[in-house]
Structure 1
Amino acid sequence: MKKAIYRQHGNAAEVIEIIDAEPQALEPGQSRVKILRSPINPSDIVQIAGQYGIQPDMPAAAGMEGIGEVVEVNGDGHEIGTLVLLADPPGAWASERVFPTEVLVPVPRADIDQLAMLTVNPATAYLLLTEYVDLKEGDWIIQSAANSAVGRYVTQLAKSRGINVASVVRRETAIPDVKDAGCDAAFVDGPDLAERVEAELDKAPVLAIDAVAGDAFGRLIATLAHGGTAVSYGGMSGEPLIIPDGNIIFNNVSVRGFWLVNWFTNAGPDEIKRVYGELTELVLSGQLNAPIDKIFTLDQITDALAHTVAGGRSGKVLLAPNGI
């Protein structure tokens, strides 16, 4: 079998290597899964760089999520050939992996590219919309990085619930993308963002969702209604959060942070099953999807990582560890 590992933190394209390893013997309660697809997410890049909330021992396996097919089971479990979402990360960038059978989530046969991306970004978008504010039909939310995978999922999920979406991007050329994704208003970030949002929207947003940090976070906060909530789930700018004290003090804005790992830690099995069941149905119906830019084989992982961080992509980069 082949798998991607790194022996030190750094630029993912420079420190990742593909090694040959002996297949792991199955113990009772374990399943062997042939990995079919695994996306390259920002969280993967951040973890390899050593900037993630959890740091694995070295050498470390890579890959946070994916989809595979059960090929061997020791004891009771899923039937051979069952399509499953991969849990127990990291380690999805491999031709196969052994998992505790109980953590594998079976899914119907469908578009494996879309299903491979189900575990991280759609769940993040879903929870950002449901965990912090009791959103009502007709409410406005505003989000930065709206042309990202999470941003696209946020838009799709919000629109399915009758919630209005204001999308903020960092360049004019991204405006058509977020409008095609279904947002109700689109803005290029800038110092006068709050004034432009107030002029265009019929009422102020009650929830701001940010993945950029830095001054962009403060500009989103300035658009919020009194008592609104701002949630940070990423720091693409590499800068600390800028939080204007006047909005916090006088406008009673709440600031929260989101990390999917915390939700997994605190949510019970029934809650996890409910969320992923709902998301799976939305993917199967075509209501939830993300564009694919390019698919690489595992042996092409250096090129795949370089392509991911280069920018200007039209969608997500996927790995196909067992061939495209």
Structure 2
Amino acid sequence: MTSHTEPALSARPGLTGLSFSKGHGTGNDFILVADPNGSVDVTAADVAAACDRHRGIGADGLIRAVPSSFLPEGRALLEDTPEAQWFMDYRNSDGSVSEMCGNGVRVFVHFLLESGLVELADGASMAIGTRGGVKVVKRSVDGYSVDMGPWEFIYPEAAAARATDSLVEADGLQVARPGLSISMGNPHTVVALAEIAELRATRLFDAPSVDPAPPHGTNVEFVVPHDPLMHDGVGQLSMRVHERGVGETLSCGTGACAAAIATRYWAGADAPDVWSVTVPGGIVGVRFTVSAQGGEHVHLSGPAVLVARGTFS
């Protein structure tokens, strides 16, 4: 793709008349718009109106596909990764800016392909710029796999000492539960529950209370490890999530990674490196590898589907 270095055109106000697609990854749904000239001015109010499930199209977030060269964050990434030509400008459904989304980046690449903006053969990979860093997405016959990069504990000293670092309260849970806070480029707090019935009984309409909360808020995952934990060498867990700035969603890619990280950490040295994570919207895969530089990377795999196209009125 030709690199865009010219200044953006005059900002286009609002979304009126703009073409869009609607897509999802295991039920985590998004509105996607293409902005190859960097000329679309998307406001928080535009996003909130479009994502409203009663008065708008309805979605967990809105993704603008824009060349990285049109954004300061994108230009910074291009200095080290010039092949990251496209930037995933992701907003939560309330209009707030988010670092990235694991399900969203798969749908984003599928949108680029279906819109004719890029070409990517089966088995080939491409680099995508996000506010959570560059993510490498590989195409396969049954979906996409994303190298989500390295992960880290948000409170490493507390995690090392106690295996948890916070207390989480949620509607439907009788007492506060310990949580473990993990950064996937965006913040997560993972809470283990004892059984599926408890997971179903937890009500996630309102945001859970996390103490202490990470500085910019957090997504909260409630997980139940399966019994037995492994099947054919693959770890198994079920999860629900309340996403920061959105509410409960059918799936969260970075949240599935965080859930697998926490469960693997709690399970100890014999825990597997490959996980199957069941979310209300389906199943995603999480895999751990060691990078050439020696750090541990997390890979997320799953489907991506476009269901509709239209034009904002």
TM-score, structure 2 as length reference? 0.29
Give the alignment's TM-score, normalised by structure 1. 0.28
Q: Which structure's residues are more often helix, by fraction?
A: 1
More strand by share: 2
Larger Rg: 1
